[in-house]
Structure 1
Amino acid sequence: MRDVVVLGSTGSIGTQALEVLSARPEEFRVVGLAAGGASVELLARQALETGARVVAVARATAVQDLQLAFYAEASRRGWSSGEATLPKILAGPDAATELAAMPCDVVLNGITGSTALRPTLAALAAGTTLALANKESLVVGGPLVLAAAAPGQIVAVDSEHSAIAQCLRGGRAEEVDRLVLTASGGPFRGRTRAEMADVTPAQALAHPTWDMGRVITTNSATLVNKGLELLEAHLLYGVDLDRIDVVVHPQSQVHSMVQFVDGSTLAQCSPPDMRLPIALALGWPDRVPGAAAPNDWSRPQSWTFEPLDEEAFPAVALARTAGRHGGSAPAVYNAANEVCVDAFHEGRLGFLGIVDVVARVLGEHVGERVSTPEHGRGATAEERPGADVRSTLVTSDDLTLESVLAADAWARARAAELVAEASQQSDS
C-alpha cells in the first residue's frame, strides 16, 4: 500500500490521478490533497471520497467555504454528524508546501506554474518519491531541485518524459545518442506567423488532442510548453540540449523517442491518455495493469512526423537560449510567459505578443540579442536605461532559492511593463 499526496487535485492532472488511485484501493491510499481554493465543492467531494486526512488550500479566504462544502457534501451522502470525519485544513500560500512535507510514499505535484517550486523542494527534502507533473518547478529551480533529489527520487508524469524514461530502459546511459521529444503541433500547426496574428483565446484553447488547463493549453498553442519540456528533459536525463530534438507528430500516439549510438530508435506509443503516465509514475518502477486502453492494432492507421517550423514557433529556440545560459534564465523564461498568458486571456496582449515579450525579457536578463521573427529584439539589460540590477543573470553555480525568486519577480514586473506598452500602442 502506497500513501499518496496529490497537489493540484482539482486540476486536469489531479482529477485524472484520483481516477487512477480510486480504481486501485488495494494499492494506493490518498492521505492528502491540495488545491488553489477556487473549486471548494470539488475539493470537498474529493476529500470525502478518498478519505484524505489533510486538505490544503492556497487561498486562506476559502477555508470557511471549504468547511461549509464539507458539511454539504456529507449531508448529500446522507451521513450523520458522527459518520463524517472531516480532514484537517491547511490554508495559505505555504499550505501545499507543508502538505508536501508530510509523511507519505509519493507526492504527485500537479500544481500549475512556478509556485510549485517550494512544494517540490519540500517533498524531496522529506525523502518522498516525487511524481512530477509540474515541469515549471524543475525548470526554474534547475540545479536546486537536482541537488535536493536523491537518484531516482523524481519520476516524470509528463507523457513525453515518461516515454523517454521507458525507452531509456532499453539501453545504458552511454549508449544514448539523442532524445526526441514529440509535439502535436497544437491547434495552429501549419500556419505561418502572419496567419496567427488574430488568434483568439478560444482558438488557442481548442487543442486537437489533449484536454488540459488554460495555461498548459495556451503554452501548447505557442509551443512554450515544448520549450519547457526541452529544458525538463535536459535536467531529468542529463542529456545536452544540442542532443535533444523536437519533432511534430500530430496524431500524438508516439510520446517521445530515444535514439541510440548504433542507429536504433526506441519509441513509446499509446493512445493520448494521461492516466497511463500518471499510473506509471505512481507505481514506478512497476506498471499498473489496465491503467489505460492500448492501441488497437486491428484497424488501419497512419502516423506522420514533420520538422518544427521555428520561424512560426520560436518558443523552443528561446528555451534553448535560456537553457544554454542556465542559472536564473529558465526562471525568467517561464515567469515572463506566465504573465503574458494571463494578459492574452484578459485581452491585453495579442497571441504573437506572448513569445515576443518573453524574448525581450529573456534578452534583457541574459544580455544577449534574443529575437523573434519580424519583431526584432529587445534591449539587453546593459542597453536599457535604468535597468534593475535584479535583471542580471545568476549562474547555475551561484543559484539560490532567493535568487530564483528574485529573477522570477523581476521577469514578471518587466513583462507586465512590456505588456502595458504593447496595449497602449494597440490602442493608439
Structure 2
Amino acid sequence: MNSLAHPQLRFTPTVKDPDGPRELILLGSTGSIGTQAIDVVLRNPDRFRVVGLSAAGGRVELLAEQALTLGVHTVAVADEAAVPALRAALAAKAAGRALPAILAGPDAATELAAMECHSVLNGITGSIGLRPTLAALRAGRVLVLANKESLIVGGPLVKALARPGQIVPVDSEHTAIFQALAGGSRAEVRKLVVTASGGPFRGRSREELAAVTPADALAHPTWAMGPVITINSATLVNKGLEVIEAHLLYDVPFDRIEVVVHPQSIVHSMVEFTDGSTLAQASPPDMRMPISLGLGWPDRVADAAPGCDWTKAATWEFFPLDNEAFPAVELAREVGRLGGTAPAVFNAANEECVDAFLKGALPFTGIVDTVAKVVAEHGTPAEGTSLTVEDVLHTETWARARARELAAG
C-alpha cells in the first residue's frame, strides 16, 4: 500500500535541514493559510526561514510587505499585469532592504515550487495548485499540503510521484488523522472517522434547505473562510472532498472512512483501531496548529495555538450524517471509487454551481443536484494510471461549461 501521508513513514527531502532555520516556500501567501503560516514563522525565527512566496496578484501591497518582512529572495505572482504595481510597492516599502526577484505568469508558482528549500507549503485555492504540487514532489521537497484540490483532481499523478511520507497534510481533519495514526500500525487501523461541523444547516430537512439564501449559507458557525469553501461546508461538499483526500493520503478503502457531525469542532477527526479503541485529536479551531505541525514535522512547534481549557465544563456532541438532506458525501464516495478524471469533474462542476448559487441562478439544493448530473454525464472514466495534467484540465473545462449550461436552465 502506498500511504502518501503516514506519521510512521519518514521522508528524507532532497534538501536537508541546515544548521540554522528550515527554509520554506509558501504558495498562496496572501490567503488565509498563507497569512497564518507567516504568523507561525515570524513567531519562530529560529525554526523557519521563508525563501519564496507566491500569490495570485490581487493583494500586491500585502505581498510586498510579506516579502520584505521575511526577506525572501523570490516572489511569484500569477497575474502578469500585477507586476508593475508589485514592483512599485516593493520599492516604496524597501527602506534599504534588498528587493526580491519576481516571477510572473500562470507557471510562476510552479517554477517557484521546484526551487531549493526544505518544504513547500501549498496554500493555493483550487485545482490550479496541481502543477505546483507536482513540481514540489518532483523536486524532492516535503509537501505541506493545504491545497486539497490538487490531490483530489490529480490523485493518480500525485501518487505516482510522491514517496511514502513525503506529504504532510494541513487540513484540520487530516492532520488529526495523521497524528492519531501514530498510535498503531497500519494493519491495526479499522476505520477513519472524519468529523464535520454540520455547517449552519445541521438538522434541517432537504425541504427546508430549498429556501436557503446565499447570506444564510455564508454564515458558518465555526470557521471564517472564503465564500467557496464556506458554501462547500454548508452543502458538505467540502466533507466529500475530504473523504476522497483521506482515501488518497492514507490508502484506506472508502467503506472504512466514516463521516460524523460534531458541531463544536474540537475533535478534528479520529482513528478507530481493530481492538475497539479510538484515538482522537482535539484542539480549539485554529489553523495555526495544523500549519505549524506541517512546517515543523516531525517536531512540534511550541505554543503554535491555544489548547483546550480543561478547567471549564464542556460538552462535545456527535451525530450521524443525514445523507438525504446532504447527499454530497455519498456522491463524493461514488466519484472517488470511479477515480480517473471523475474527481476533477466533481470539483470543477461544484465550483461553477457555487458561483451560480451565489448569483441567484441556482437554489441551494440545486448545487449538489447539478453536480450529480454532470458527474453522471461524464460517465465512467478510463483507468487513471495513464492520466495526464492535460486530461485533468480538459475534463475540468468540459465540466465547468456543462455545469454552467445546466445552471442556466
Per-residue deviation, residues 227-271 of structure 1 (Å, max 9, x unmatched):
000000000000000000000000000000000011110000011
> Are 2:40 and 1:20 equivalent residues in the alignment?
yes
Deviation at 1:202, TM superposition (A): 2.3
Q: Within 5 Å, which residues of 2 pair with 1:171-186? A: 171-186=184-199
Instruction: Report the counterpart of residue 313 of structure 1 in structure 2.
Output: 326
- Are 1:394 and 1:403, in contact at CA under 8 Å, matched by a contact in 2? no
Structure 1 position 95 matched with structure 2 position 108: yes
Following superposition, the deviation at residue 290 of structure 1 comes to: 0.7
Give CA-to-partner distance per residue, 1:158-208, whole Å, 9 cap, x none: 000000010000000000000000000011111112222232222222111
Measure, in 1, the Cα distance between the counterparts of 2:61 and 2:132. 24
Partner Cα separation in structure 2 for residue 324 and residue 355 of structure 1:
18
Q: Could you say which residue in structure 2 is the equivalent of 1:45?
A: 65
1:32 aligns with 2:52: yes
Give the deviation of 1:292 after TM superposition.
0.8
1:332 paired to 2:341: no
> Which residue is 1:122 aligned to?
135
Task: Give distance in 2, aligned partners of 1:364 and 1:57.
Answer: 36
Distance 1:159 1:203 in 2: 24
Asked whether 1:418 is paired with 2:381, we answer no
For residue 405 of structure 1, what is the amino acid of its counterpart? L
In the alignment, which residue of structure 1 is the partner of 2:278?
265
**Fraction of identical pairs, as percent:** 67
Residue of structure 2 in register with 1:110 after alignment:
123
The equivalent of 2:30 in structure 1 is 10
Count of residue pairs brought into register by the alignment: 389
Gaps of 5+ in 2: 1-20
Q: Give the letter aligned to residue 406 of structure 2.
A: L
Q: Once the 2 structures are TM-superposed, how far is the Cα of residue 57 of structure 1 from its aligned partner?
A: 1.0
Shift of residue 398 of structure 1? Answer: 2.8
Match of 1:196 among 209, 214, 227: 209
Q: Indicate the larger mover: 395-404 or 123-132.
A: 395-404
| Range 26-35 or range 345-354, more displaced | 345-354
The alignment partner of 1:247 has SS state of strand
- Per the alignment, in what secondary structure is the counterpart of residue 386 of structure 2? coil
Residues of 1 paired with 2:206 and 2:379: CA distance? 25
Aligned pairs for 1:66-105 within 5 A: 66-74=86-94, 79=95, 83-105=96-118
Question: Is the Cα contact below 8 Å between 1:163 and 1:257 reproduced in 2?
Answer: yes
Q: Which moved more, 1:302-311 or 1:410-419?
A: 410-419
Q: What is the CA-CA distance between 1:347 and the residue it aligns to? A: 2.8
Counterpart in 2 of 1:424? Answer: none
The one-letter amino acid paired with 1:411 is A
1:412 Cα deviation from its structure 2 partner: 1.0
Q: Matches of 2:41 and 2:205 in 1, distance apart?
A: 42
- Cα distance in 1 for residues equivalent to 2:137 and 2:198: 33
Partners of 1:11 and 1:213 within 8 A in 2: no
1:194 corresponds to which letter in structure 2?
E
Measured in 1, the distance between the counterparts of 2:92 and 2:324 equals 53
Residue 397 of structure 1: how far off its partner (Å): 2.5
1:206-245 matches, within 5 Å, as 206-245=219-258
Q: CA deviation at 1:365?
A: 1.0
Deviation at residue 350 of structure 1 after TM alignment = 2.3
Bigger relative CO (Cα 8 Å, ≥ 6 apart): 2
Supply the AA of the counterpart residue of 2:63. L
Aligned partners of 1:201, 1:30: CA distance in 2, in Å? 38
Corresponding residue for residue 279 of structure 1: 292
Instruction: Give the match's secondary structure for 2:183.
Output: coil
Structure 1 runs of 4+ off > 3 angstroms?
none
Measured against aligned partners, the alpha-carbon deviations of 1:32-56 in whole angstroms (never above 9, x if no partner) come to 1111111111111111111111111
Which residue number in structure 1 is paired with residue 6 of structure 2?
none
Q: Which has the larger radius of gyration?
A: 1
Q: Structure 2 length normalisation: TM-score?
A: 0.93
TM-score by length of structure 1 reads 0.89
User: Which residue pairs with 2:167 in the alignment?
Assistant: 154
